[in-house]
Amino acid sequence: MAVLPILCYPDPRLHTVAKPVPQVDGTVQALVANMFETMYAANGIGLAATQVNVHQRVITIDVSEERDQPLVLINPEIVWSSPDTQVNDEGCLSVPGIYDGVARASSVRVTALNLDGQPHTLEASGLLAVCIQHEMDHLLGKVFVEYLSPLKRNRIKTKMAKAQREATR
Ligand code: NI
């Protein structure tokens, strides 16, 4: 397993639309193992393959306190969203240090393949629902800061560019 480099906003590769996984094979399983290692190493609760520059519909999640409930969603599709929404502060491993409120459906029902390539359906609410919607946005090339006002987004872009300049100095 390996910790993979995470793309940082405003890297244009974060706006790539991911393709469905044609078959859950050893390559996909290895990607998932590396994504979990990367996500846990960065103390994240979710990671989309897009963020490690692999443009396939693969998500890893663990919203548990003990970090012992790994959830993998391959080719996820939201088949139902609750009409009621909730605003939660979100953060993202691709936008380090930035947290802001985003409105999301309070509950969702998702279908996806597991690591054995078997389809399953999941009902989620609370933090898990937020995380699933946030990660699925990544697969569509969307980063959560795109929900914020243009003013806030520009401020974040400036801050990120400055941090990256300092990091590579
Ligand atoms: Ni994110």
Task: Return the pLDDT at 56.
Answer: 98
Task: Return the pLDDT at 164.
Answer: 84
Helix, strand, or coil (residue 40): helix
Residue 135 falls in the annotated catalytic set:
yes
Q: Are strands 119-125 and 107-113 parallel, antiparallel or unpaired?
A: antiparallel
Task: Return the pLDDT at 163.
Answer: 87
Given 123, 135, 146, 166, the catalytic residue: 135
pLDDT digit string (tens) for the chain, length 169 residues? 899 999 999 999 999 999 999 999 999 999 999 999 999 999 999 999 999 999 999 999 999 999 999 999 999 999 999 999 999 999 999 999 999 999 999 999 999 999 999 999 999 999 999 999 999 999 999 999 999 999 999 999 999 988 888 887 7
User: Is residue 17 a contact partner of residue 139, using CB atoms and an 8 Å limit?
Assistant: yes
Q: How far apart are CA 94 and CA 106, in angstroms?
A: 24
Q: What is the 96 CA–ligand 1 centroid distance (Å)?
A: 9
Q: What is the 52 CA–ligand 1 centroid distance (Å)?
A: 11
Task: Return the pLDDT at 14.
Answer: 98
